[in-house]
Amino acid sequence: MHILLAGLLGLALGVYLVLHAGFAGIVALLAVAGWGLLWLLPFHLLPLALDTLSWKWLLRGKARAPFGFLLWLALIRESVNGLLPVARIGGELLGIRMLSQYGVSPYVAGASVMVEITLTLVSQFLFALLGVVVLLFAVSNHLLVFEVLGFLFLSIPVMVIFFWLQKHKGLFSLVQNISKRMLDGYDVLGIIGDPRLLDAEIRSFYDKGRALLVANFWQLAGLFAGTLEVVFTFWLLHHPVPYWAALLLESLGQALRSVAFVVPAGIGIQEGGFMLFGTVVGIGPDLALAYALARRLRELFLGVPVLLSWVASESHYMRRRWLQASTGKEGVL
């Protein structure tokens, strides 16, 4: 309910920003690009493929999963988080489920996603820090720089505690113990199996120091490739921007969207961030919102077919389960 309310408020904010900046002008800018915006669909596969390399590297030595399959799962995770009201967690849970259905141990699947999320926090922090450096040279009034920098450094204790709990305390075992005390012995995590096994698997991932560094490298490469997508989008809108300006928009825009994770797809928040930081680099509100809407259109046109493919896959899986149960056969589905 709270997620739905946050989404409605974000949508209202987004509509207000579009109307305030001038709906007709924004539509005119999008019309300039026209069907050329469809090129964003294949272009977006570049940063996503680099992210998938990060995930595959984490799974190396733990599970065998084809790159194409992991890329499809990455598309599903992104589409669920971007188009459905799931507060950016539903896609991760679905990724774990589908990787487990493929035959990977659910503990390995869950641990790989948890560690990947932690690495994403680190890579996005470093990327946002680079955005702050660009911001420092882009503005004369450094008050905004210090505000953004202060906000970023406030996230450091959160990341450290999150990592420490996973590595040294067993995050899921801790959550299980707390929930059982609060719910009169009811094990809310019982549905996922034994939390201790999941915690042990997570710790084993963190013992692979070289793999973590390589995985983090591919994540950062994906973020820089995502900046190229920003440059390409503005080029399609016939308003080219330099790479450094695109980097500022992408890095700080992503940081803002991550903070507003309770708002589905960061709707309204992301648009406001692009307007704010776009002004810093000389991008007018109408152009910033045209870019934001072009990005939303890419999410929609790419995400809907991906979600339909997931529904078809889930239907096929359930049908196989039913047939297997009816014939009394056992096996991996």
pTM for the whole structure:
0.88
pLDDT of residue 333: 41
Confidence (pLDDT) at 331: 45
- Residue 99 identity: L
Pairwise CA distance, residues 167 & 60, whole Å: 19
Compute the average pLDDT of residues 165-189: 75
Span 12-40, pLDDT tens digits: 887 878 887 888 889 899 999 999 999 99
Cα gap 54→313, rounded to integer Å: 24
What would the two tokens of residue 294 be? 């072009």
- Residue 146's pLDDT is 84
Within 10 Å of residue 69's Cβ, how many Cβ atoms?
A: 14
Residue 236 pLDDT = 96
Handedness of CA 318, 320, 326, 329 (dihedral sign): negative
Specify whether the CB–CB gap between 97 and 248 falls below 8 A: no
Q: Give dist(CA 174, CA 196) in Å, integer.
A: 9
Amino acid at 45: L
Tell me which amino acid residue 231 is. V
Which residue has 């994770």 as its token pair? 261
Q: How many Cα neighbours within 13 Å face the side chain of 124?
A: 20
Q: Domain ranges in the chain? A: 2-327
**217, 177 contact by CB (below 8 A):** no
Instruction: Name which of 52-56, 159-163, 167-171 the model is least confident about.
Output: 167-171
Q: Among 37-46, 142-151, 198-207, 296-305, name the one with the lowest average pLDDT.
A: 142-151
Q: What is the CA radius of gyration of the chain?
A: 21
Q: What is the mean pLDDT of the chain?
A: 87
Terminus-to-terminus CA distance in the chain, angstroms?
Answer: 34
